Amino acid sequence: MAVKEYLIPENLYYDQNDFWIKIEANSVLIGITEEGQKNTGDILYLELAPAGTVVRRGEKIGSIESGKWVGNLTAPLSGAVAESNPAVTRNPRLVNRDAYGEGWMVRLIMDNPDELGLLMGAREYEAWLDEQLKSEEGIG
């Protein structure tokens, strides 16, 4: 499925901060979507919470800087960081190059699986993106 030119894999969850969430055995992998990385532009710097960090949904799990924008990365789910991807902190452009693969950011042990119900599936995310893009076109 694609919104305009962007890829939205079916087997992932999404949130409104353009994170994708992939459920694995007893943890989730988190990264930025293709749409998210395009919106951000060339990523120059990434800082991710180290393993062991406990976060609640909506709390900071990292910081990101692109050409001329800096912002916080906020956890889409509550839990404990099991691992952050050293490859993307060494080379943040991996996120631009392979958002759903080598560009993953954090592996999280979920604290409350019920929170998955607050996320979007691929079709919901597509619809949400469409809505955002339409409102942006309206702004001009």
Query: With CB under 8 A as the contact rule, which of the stretches 1-9, 51-59, 103-111, 130-138 interacts with other proteins?
Result: 130-138
Inter-residue contact 118 to 46 (CB < 8 Å) = no
- Least CB distance to other proteins at residue 79 (A): 23
Per the structure block, which two tokens stand in for 47? 């800082």
Residue in 108, 124, 81, 123 with CA at minimum distance from that of residue 21? 108
Q: Is 133 in the site for other proteins (CB under 8 A)?
A: yes
Q: CA-based angle 66:6:41, to the nearest 5?
A: 10
Q: Is 2 in the site for other proteins (CB under 8 A)?
A: no
Q: Is 117 in the site for other proteins (CB under 8 A)?
A: no
Site string for other proteins, 50-89 (x = CB under 8 A): -------------x-xxxxxxxx-----------------
Per the structure block, which two tokens stand in for 103? 């560009």
Residue in 93, 99, 123, 122 with CA at minimum distance from that of residue 34? 99
Site string for other proteins, 23-52 (x = CB under 8 A): ---------------xx-x--xx-x-----
Distance CA 30, CA 119 (A): 13
Give the binding site for other proteins (CB under 8 A): 38-39, 41, 44-45, 47, 63, 65-72, 91, 93, 132-133, 135-136, 139
